[in-house]
Amino acid sequence: MNDTEYLLDVRGLKVHFPIEKGILLKRRAGYVRAVDGVDFRIRPGEALGLVGESGCGKSTTAMAVAQLQTPTAGQVLLDGRDLAALSPQELRAARKDFQIVFQDPYSSLDPRQKAADIIAEPLRIFAKRGIITMDDAEIQSTALSLMDRCGLSASFATRYPHEFSGGQRQRIGIARALALGPRLVIADEPVSALDVSIQSQILNLLKDLQKDFNLTFLFIAHDLAVIEYFCTKIAVMYLGRIVETADSATIASNPMHPYTKALLSAAPLPDPAKERSRRRIILKGDVPSPSVEHRGCPFRERCPEAMDVCALSAPVLKPVGEGHEVSCFLYGEG
Amino acid sequence: MNEDSILRVEGLSTQFSTDHGLVKAVDGVSFELRRGETLGIVGESGSGKSVTNLSVLRLIQSPPGIIASGSVLFQGKDLLAASEEEVRVLRGRNISMIFQDPLTSLNPVLKVSTQIAEAIQLHHGLGRKEAKAKAVAMMKLIGIPDAERRADDYPHQFSGGMRQRVMIAMALSCDPDVLIADEPTTALDVTIQAQILELIKSMSARNKTSVILITHDLGVVAGMCDTVCVMYAGRIVERAPVDDLFEKPAHPYTQGLLDSIPRADRSGPERLYSIPGSPPNLIDMPDACPFAPRCARVMDICTKAAPPETALDEEGKRTVRCWLHSMESTNE
Ligand SMILES: Nc1ncnc2c1ncn2[C@@H]1O[C@H](COP(=O)(O)OP(=O)(O)OP(=O)(O)O)[C@@H](O)[C@H]1O
Ligand SMILES: Nc1ncnc2c1ncn2[C@@H]1O[C@H](COP(=O)(O)OP(=O)(O)OP(=O)(O)O)[C@@H](O)[C@H]1O
Ligand SMILES: [Mg+2]
Ligand SMILES: [Mg+2]
């Protein structure tokens, strides 16, 4: 196995949150299996899109990869090094290489700091700890050039977050994430809160930055069209697991998992003629609770193609084509 | 006025006084809704979609808000001139609204089924038992799993998506003539969104309910609407039958919006188009086209005067507010 072929290699990642009952005597009433055995790999310069419904575990995966949430099990190999196994000191230094951009640009920015200070903050912290060597003047000029690169005029440097629009705040969040020159950017719904016209500005910016800095992306969204536009590969997540993964074009043209098919068919298309003629797969029910342990395939209750075998055991990801993996009994026994 | 017209909004302007000045949130909006028609109102955040529809229902809080001018004719009766009581009755009986924020519009201390049942009782004059049974049936219809058991839950025990569906159940159970749905599915997952939109569609077809659907998702508009109004800075800048809008957008803003969307159904360009700049401040708007500073096709006149509404066809089904088009017509 060649480890360095991938910048990020996630293996058997699990995050289970304990559910506690009782006020005085807390006892464990079970677990929320937010992430329940996730594997994926990203090559340098690639963008992997993680898509799935609310609560399926996308953000928890992102937090666990970024080591902002301790995994219950599994490995997160960045350039061959397991982040989950690092000492707190080693981890702090390693953070230079991976940064996270959040969905809500407002709540993720300190309201009392000026834009340039927000962007410069990671540099200041790392300089103070002696991980990087930069003086104040260098830090300031780096922050300003990042602002410029992210489409924020220099006159905005002394403004506070509330004085910016949503799109501008997201630009600040992106500039801050890039300050330390990371190799991996984990973007958790970076455009979901934005209007379409602003969304396309930010998507274009991220694409340009990806090229200029040879960035690798773990990109999370619930909008398949956004993912398909931005990412070279897609992983579809359902209830804490990846159910299908392939190139973006393959997912679009040849989806195999019934859930992927349903997602694709439910995504509204901005084309009235296509909308009238398409056959929609309407799923029944809600996303089931991740706190119930599932015997069999977790998608079974909502699956239009469920078979008897699906109740007996859970399918695992299996290759069905070049770089295409599906976890479904329709394509062979588990 | 069209025979079939059920709601007609004419020259509606709504303003808010704030510390920074007067916000012209809605500025001379006119549109007509026909029986059984689904009208989409699209536009970016802050363009005035919600305020337009809250004004129609006379739900603008005053102060700071004031409906400065206009008329709202519902079956010929002007709601803006009607008494508070008349409007209240209409809101319960003839026009229902699904609000953008479901959490604040449900009563936190009442059981979910009780709230739906109250709406049903009010409208159909059923007894409590029957109303509750109908409420549970309605909950099933909107896809609340385990509806009988969950009927006695309180709103906070429901997920955001389920609360939104309860709002929709309440609105639908009144068999309204007009349903105003303000971003009814924005907070929901696409698979749940597909369920809900299907529900609204089939109800509208069955009862000939007219629907005003407010959204910023052009995909939802394409699938749901007969007619579309595009709003920008408090004005309707383009109005068109849905196919025409997507096929030949007339306003550069509409064109820009369509080009900005990543498309899952076809491979697009390497880069998305993006409209430069950001929406205008609605305070002290100059007498000019509000889109001029961001428009790729801006001309001299655009910064000197606001373009009038120009009809692009005989019947007036297509209109646009853009100097590119009003230059062509001579009667302005
Ligand atoms: N700290 C926590 N404690 C307990 N449960 C949690 C915690 N964080 C997340 N969860 C649960 O884990 C599951 C996955 O949540 P997560 O936020 O990862 O989903 P997501 O896919 O990012 O959803 P969304 O699209 O809504 O952002 C959910 O059921 C959530 O309620
Ligand atoms: N109570 C208020 N006081 C001051 N300004 C207000 C008030 N309510 C709305 N506005 C302003 O009116 C304008 C139109 O708001 P509206 O809520 O109608 O936008 P919208 O198109 O519904 O946007 P969104 O897509 O975000 O829901 C905005 O600029 C908003 O800031
Ligand atoms: Mg999330
Ligand atoms: Mg609104």
Q: Which tens digits make up the pLDDT trace of B64-84?
A: 999 999 999 999 899 999 999
| pLDDT exceeds 60 at position B234 | yes
DSSP alpha helices (H): ranges in B154-215?
A: 160-173, 190-207
What's the whole-model pTM score?
0.91
A30 lines ligand 1 (CB under 6 A): no
Cβ distance of B145 and A53 shorter than 8 Å? no
Ligand 3 geometric centre to CA of A180 (Å): 24
Q: Does A266 touch chain B (CB under 8 A)?
A: yes
Classify A212 as helix, strand or coil: helix
CA A267 to chain centre: 19
pLDDT of residue B102: 59
Percentages helix, strand, coil for chain B (3-state, rounded to 5) are 35, 25, 40
For B201-210, how does the pLDDT look when each residue is reduced to its tens digit (9 = 90+)? 988 888 899 9
pLDDT of residue B330: 45
pLDDT of residue A166: 85
Cβ-contact A77, A8 below 8 angstroms: yes
Distance to chain A for B269, nearest Cα, Å: 9
Cβ distance of A204 and B272 shorter than 8 Å? yes
pLDDT of residue A57: 93
Q: Does A26 touch chain B (CB under 8 A)?
A: no
Residue of B nearest to A278 (CA): B223
Confidence grade of residue B35 (pLDDT, cut at 50, 70, 90): very high
Ligand 4 geometric centre to CA of B30 (Å): 18
pLDDT of residue B170: 84
Classify A315 as helix, strand or coil: coil
pLDDT of residue A52: 92
pLDDT of residue B160: 72
Cβ-contact A72, A15 below 8 angstroms: yes
| Contacting residues of B for A255, CB less than 8 Å apart | none
A57 lines ligand 1 (CB under 6 A): yes
Cβ distance of A268 and B243 shorter than 8 Å? no
State the complex-level ipTM: 0.87
Cβ-contact B236, B243 below 8 angstroms: no
Q: Whose CA is nearest to atom 31 of ligand 2?
A: B46
Cis amide leading into B290 (omega within 30)? no
Q: To test ligand 2's pocket by mutation, which of B22, B24, B42, B49 has the most ligand atoms within 8 angstroms of CB?
A: B49
For B101-114, how does the pLDDT look when each residue is reduced to its tens digit (9 = 90+)? 656 678 888 998 89
Ligand 3 geometric centre to CA of A55 (Å): 7
- Name the percent of chain B lying above pLDDT 90: 54
Taking every pair of C-alpha atoms in chain A, what is the biggest distance, in angstroms? Answer: 67
| pLDDT exceeds 70 at position A164 | yes
> Once rounded to an integer, what is the mean pLDDT over residues B233-243?
97
Average pLDDT over chain A, rounded to an integer: 91
> Once rounded to an integer, what is the mean pLDDT over residues A218-233?
94
| pLDDT exceeds 70 at position B332 | no
Distance to chain A for B330, nearest Cα, Å: 33
Ligand 3 geometric centre to CA of A265 (Å): 22
Cβ distance of B258 and A199 shorter than 8 Å? no
Cβ distance of A200 and B273 shorter than 8 Å? yes
Angle (deg, nearest 10), helices A196-213 and A166-178: 10
Residue of B nearest to A207 (CA): B271
- Name the percent of chain B lying above pLDDT 70: 95
Q: Whose CA is nearest to atom 24 of ligand 1?
A: A54
| pLDDT exceeds 60 at position A189 | yes
Residues ≥6 apart with Cβ < 8 Å to A20: A26, A27, A28, A29
pLDDT of residue B302: 96
Cβ distance of A199 and B260 shorter than 8 Å? yes
Average pLDDT over chain B, rounded to an integer: 89
| pLDDT exceeds 60 at position A223 | yes
DSSP characters over A153-191: -GGGTT--GGGS-HHHHHHHHHHHHHTT--SEEEEESTT
Residue of A nearest to B255 (CA): A197
Which of A51-55, A124-128, B298-302 shows the lowest per-residue confidence on average (mean pLDDT)?
A: A51-55
pLDDT of residue B331: 46
Q: How far, in Å, CA of B45 to CA of B94, rounded?
A: 28
pLDDT of residue A1: 46
Q: Whose CA is nearest to atom 14 of ligand 2?
A: B48
Cβ-contact A263, A287 below 8 angstroms: no
Percentages helix, strand, coil for chain A (3-state, rounded to 5) are 40, 25, 40
Q: Whose CA is nearest to atom 6 of ligand 2?
A: B16
CB-defined site of ligand 2, < 6 Å:
B 16, 18, 23, 25, 43, 45-51, 64-65, 100, 216, 282
Residues ≥6 apart with Cβ < 8 Å to A24: none
- Name the percent of chain A lying above pLDDT 70: 96
Residue of B nearest to A206 (CA): B271
Q: Does A96 touch chain B (CB under 8 A)?
A: no
**Interface residue of A162, A196, A201, A276 to substitute, partner B, most B CBs within 10 Å:** A196
Dihedrals phi, psi of A290, to nearest 5 degrees: -80, 0
> Once rounded to an integer, what is the mean pLDDT over residues B179-208?
87
Ligand 4 geometric centre to CA of B232 (Å): 13
Please enumerate residues of B whose Cβ is less than 8 A from a Cβ of A: 44-45, 143, 145, 159, 161-162, 189-195, 198, 216-223, 242-243, 246, 256-258, 260-265, 267-268, 271-276, 278
> Once rounded to an integer, what is the mean pLDDT over residues A177-187?
96
For B277-330, how does the pLDDT look when each residue is reduced to its tens digit (9 = 90+)? 888 889 888 899 999 999 999 999 999 999 999 999 998 899 999 999 986 654
Burial class of residue B25 (count of CB atoms within 10 Å of its CB; 0-12, 13-18, 19+): buried
Cβ neighbours around B96 below 10 Å, total: 25
Q: Name the more confident of A234 and A18.
A: A234
